[in-house]
């Protein structure tokens, strides 16, 4: 049975644990693959890694990779914000996650995932949620042109505070059209989508990103996926993995992508067990 998480934060950015603590936790939870993905430098946010910190992060992950190589495969990744520094793959990163955390409205950058209040503010500036969605998905589309990016992070993050559908109904056709158009672009560019359980771990959502309707669409369109916990706290390293695997099966998928150290390979869902 195979168990993987490629979206992991640590004390180097906004996570709660050291690299070492995270690796030990992954081993105790029978992970085969643990990839770190610290927030790459982005001048807009306060939690991403400045360059001096990043050097230490790289060193720390590489040391853990060597130290624990007989017990678990550790990989070095980075979560690159569309507005942040662009990184090069294999220099020294094994893989790159591309994410949108901010939108530019009324001449300021506001965080998509900050809190309900900020989301309300963004909607107010935009006029309505659909206009916000248009602005957001235009940003996410930029990831399609970033050749260095392997995985699209939390593709519908803008719905983080929409569990009660107070901003938009998840079956709103105009909303879905915007999301699907973006997904089409990303599939064309061969990006892998993550099923991301991070908001469940923090109590904001009951189901992972992307919403089931969009996950079904990704499947219909032949898109590839993998499961990540966007872990900021080691005790949530495999949060909702079992339930999400069921959801992935319900959406029609028969495989997920696994990282083998050099490339992403397709693995049958039967090989994943949580």
Pick 7 or 224: Cβ nearer Zn ion: 7
**Residue closest to Zn ion (Cβ):** 99
Pick 86 or 130: Cβ nearer Zn ion: 86
CB of 14 to Zn ion, least distance (A): 8
Binding site residues, Zn ion, CB under 5 A: 79, 99, 153, 230
- Bridge pairing between strands 73-81 and 95-99: parallel
CB of 6 to Zn ion, least distance (A): 10
CB of 97 to Zn ion, least distance (A): 7
Pick 10 or 73: Cβ nearer Zn ion: 10
Pick 22 or 173: Cβ nearer Zn ion: 22
Mark residue 268 as left, alpha or beta (left: phi above 0; alpha: psi -120 to 50; beta: remaining).
Answer: beta
Residue 80: strand pairing partners: 98
Pick 231 or 248: Cβ nearer Zn ion: 231
CB of 8 to Zn ion, least distance (A): 8
CB of 39 to Zn ion, least distance (A): 7
Residue 33: strand pairing partners: 4, 73
């Amino acid at each position: 049975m195979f168990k993987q998480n490629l979206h992991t934060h640590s004390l180097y950015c906004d996570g709660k644990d050291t690299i070492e603590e995270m690796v030990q936790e992954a081993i105790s939870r029978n992970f085969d693959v643990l990839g770190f993905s610290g927030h790459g430098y982005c001048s807009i946010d306060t939690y991403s890694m400045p360059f001096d910190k990043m050097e230490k992060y790289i060193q720390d992950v590489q040391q853990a990779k060597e130290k624990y190589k007989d017990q678990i495969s550790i990989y070095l990744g980075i979560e690159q914000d569309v507005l942040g520094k662009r990184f090069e793959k294999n220099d020294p990163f094994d893989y790159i996650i591309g994410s949108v955390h901010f939108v530019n409205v009324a001449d300021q950058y506001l965080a998509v995932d900050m809190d309900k209040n900020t989301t309300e503010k963004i909607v107010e500036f935009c006029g309505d949620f659909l206009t916000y969605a248009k602005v957001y998905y235009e940003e996410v589309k930029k990831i399609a042109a970033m050749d260095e990016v392997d995985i699209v992070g939390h593709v519908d993050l803008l719905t983080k505070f929409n569990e009660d559908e107070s901003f938009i109904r998840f079956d709103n056709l105009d909303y879905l059209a915007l999301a699907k158009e973006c997904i089409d672009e990303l599939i064309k560019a061969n990006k892998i989508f993550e099923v991301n359980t991070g908001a469940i771990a923090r109590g904001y959502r009951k189901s992972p990103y992307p919403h089931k309707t969009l996950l079904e669409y990704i499947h219909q369109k032949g898109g590839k996926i993998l499961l990540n916990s966007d872990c900021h706290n080691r005790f949530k390293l495999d949060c909702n993995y079992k339930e999400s695997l069921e959801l992935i099966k319900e959406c029609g998928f028969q495989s997920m992508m696994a990282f083998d150290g050099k490339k992403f390979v397709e693995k049958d869902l039967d090989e994943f067990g949580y």
